[in-house]
Amino acid sequence: MRINGTQFSVSKRQGGVLLSILFAIALWLVLSSPWPPLRPSDARSSRLRSAAEYHNAANFTLSTSAAPSHPDPQHWLARNSHDKYRVDQPSFTLKGMVNRVGRPKAAIISLVRDEELEGMLQSIRQLEAKWNGKYRYPWIFFSESGFGDEFKRRTQEATTSTCHYARIPQHHWEIPSFVSTQRFMNSLEYLSAIGVGKGHLVSYRHMCRWNSGLFYLHPILDDFDFYWRVEPDVHFFCDIDYDVFRFVRDNGIKYGFNMNILDDARSFPSLWSRTRKFIARHPELLHSEADFSWLLDPHANSEYNNCQFFSNFEVGDLRFFRGEKHRKYFEWLDQSGGFFYERYGDAPVHTLSLAMFAKREEMWWFGDIGYQHDINRHCPPAAYAHKCACEPTSLDENFYKLVPYESAQRKPVDSCIRMFLGEQWTKRRASNLTDRGIKQWNAKEEYGGYEMEMWDA
């Protein structure tokens, strides 16, 4: 072979290796190019297709063409599931080389302490067994107090991926100077007295504040674009056969969640009024397709209905949270002292931020992933039994577990996840409607009686 007048000797074996490398690069260019963003006009159909894609369990299928005119998440899943991009093959094989090219810059992150080691190991082992053992994204552990040698050794032994350990800056985990200490102490006593969950814990306020608007500022995340938040003592029940990070990147998804449930309004009584004032002050920051329709209660003067993405499971785009819009919103809330005088949570803060600054189709429900956090559990329908080691839950299973059914707090007519998916999912059978079309309560069905029960076995 001659290059620039110089003669090189290449053996057949070397030539074969060179051809394999060139072929791998060409194959990656064909298969790994990201999809263009979804068209705004397809917002509703995309949400409905996403729900149907996971789960023909209820034998419900939306009519979609075999080859859509433009890519969408369902089409992506059809092409890229069955562990197409797994990287646990040797790197010198063709598939191993191809799948390592063009990977998203992503990490699994966890806020955890040394004393939560056993719970963290459970979470790591389950997610590694169900997914990350095949994809080998790094783990990043955060703590305000640092980690001991045992924590580092045992967590690293639990995964074949690289582990990183980061200490949270002190100024991100202390009461800001603009917060009145006495008023904060009074708040702790009051929320504890009325029974708000973890209302008495100082550390919980710091955690909510850090997760709301500070975690993405840590320099260890500077080289990453996406994250999957995993907490200690959670369960993953299903085999996940696609690269979750490629999925969100290629489909322009800003945020992925597993549960969409009602939160205790006593935790953040001023959050919505403070948010409305922010909107009035900065209308130019709102996305042109911002959609609050599923978050406002038409029967209560369009007040916030307290629905939230349950943020202990979230797959997010760090670039969204680093952006000017979310940062300004967080700073606005932070300056009010609401993380300390009340108990603003990262779940409603993230939910409202996404509603303001992203399109609804840029949020994705990972309903195909079986998951449990404390009393809240989600499991896909019986058709997923070959992938999941859990009993299927109803679509509305977790709606009011944080706010008991008997609570005096006003509840939306429909469950949060149904309102997010769209009106087709909120249609009820005639026997479950009053003359005004409002839900007829009964102890047996609770949130039930819908025409579409796609989670039925």
DSSP tag of 424: G
Average pLDDT over every residue of 351-360: 97
| 445 occurs within a structural domain | no
Cα 304 to Cα 298: distance, rounded to the nearest angstrom:
10
Percent of the chain residues past pLDDT 90, beyond the cut: 66
pLDDT band, very low/low/confident/very high, at 448 (cuts 50, 70, 90): low
| 432 occurs within a structural domain | no
pLDDT at 39 exceeding the cut of 70: no
The two counts, helices (H) then strands (E), for the chain are: 16, 16
pLDDT at 71 exceeding the cut of 60: no
pLDDT of res. 67:
37
| 444 occurs within a structural domain | no
Q: What CATH number is associated with residue 71?
A: 3.90.550.10
Tell me the pLDDT of the chain averaged across its residues. Answer: 84
DSSP tag of 421: H
pLDDT tens, 244-291? 999 999 999 999 999 999 999 999 999 999 999 999 999 999 999 999
Bridge partners for 107 per DSSP: 227
Strand 2-3 relative to strand 6-7, pairing:
antiparallel
Of 9-13, 45-49, 441-445, highest mean pLDDT: 9-13
- How many CB atoms are closer than 10 A to CB 168? 18
Cα 405 to Cα 56: distance, rounded to the nearest angstrom:
30
Strand 296-297 relative to strand 303-304, pairing:
antiparallel
Number of separate domains in the chain: 1
Determine which one of 314, 342, 361, 362 is catalytic.
Answer: 314
The single-letter code of the amino acid at 376 is: N
289 is catalytic: no
Closest to 309 measured CA to CA, from 256, 359, 362 = 256
Crossing angle between the packed helical segments 324-335 and 346-357, to the nearest 10 degrees:
140
| 435 occurs within a structural domain | no
Of the candidate ranges 113-122, 327-336, 359-368, 428-437, the one whose mean pLDDT is the lowest: 428-437
pLDDT band, very low/low/confident/very high, at 3 (cuts 50, 70, 90): very low
Cα 398 to Cα 371: distance, rounded to the nearest angstrom:
12
- Beta-carbon-side half-sphere exposure of residue 314 (alpha carbons within 13 Å): 22
| 421 occurs within a structural domain | yes
The single-letter code of the amino acid at 116 is: E
Cα 372 to Cα 375: distance, rounded to the nearest angstrom:
7
Domain of 169 in residue numbering reads as 11-427
pLDDT tens, 73-121? 999 999 999 999 999 876 656 666 667 788 999 999 999 999 999 999 9
* Backbone dihedral angles phi then psi of residue 388, each to the nearest 5 degrees: -120, 140
Tokens matching residue 245 = 């990070």
Strand 163-167 relative to strand 255-257, pairing:
unpaired
pLDDT tens, 366-398? 999 999 999 999 999 888 899 999 999 999 988
The single-letter code of the amino acid at 44 is: R
Closest to 188 measured CA to CA, from 179, 180, 197, 200 = 200
pLDDT at 1 exceeding the cut of 80: no
| 109 occurs within a structural domain | yes
pLDDT of res. 69:
42
| 437 occurs within a structural domain | no
| 244 occurs within a structural domain | yes
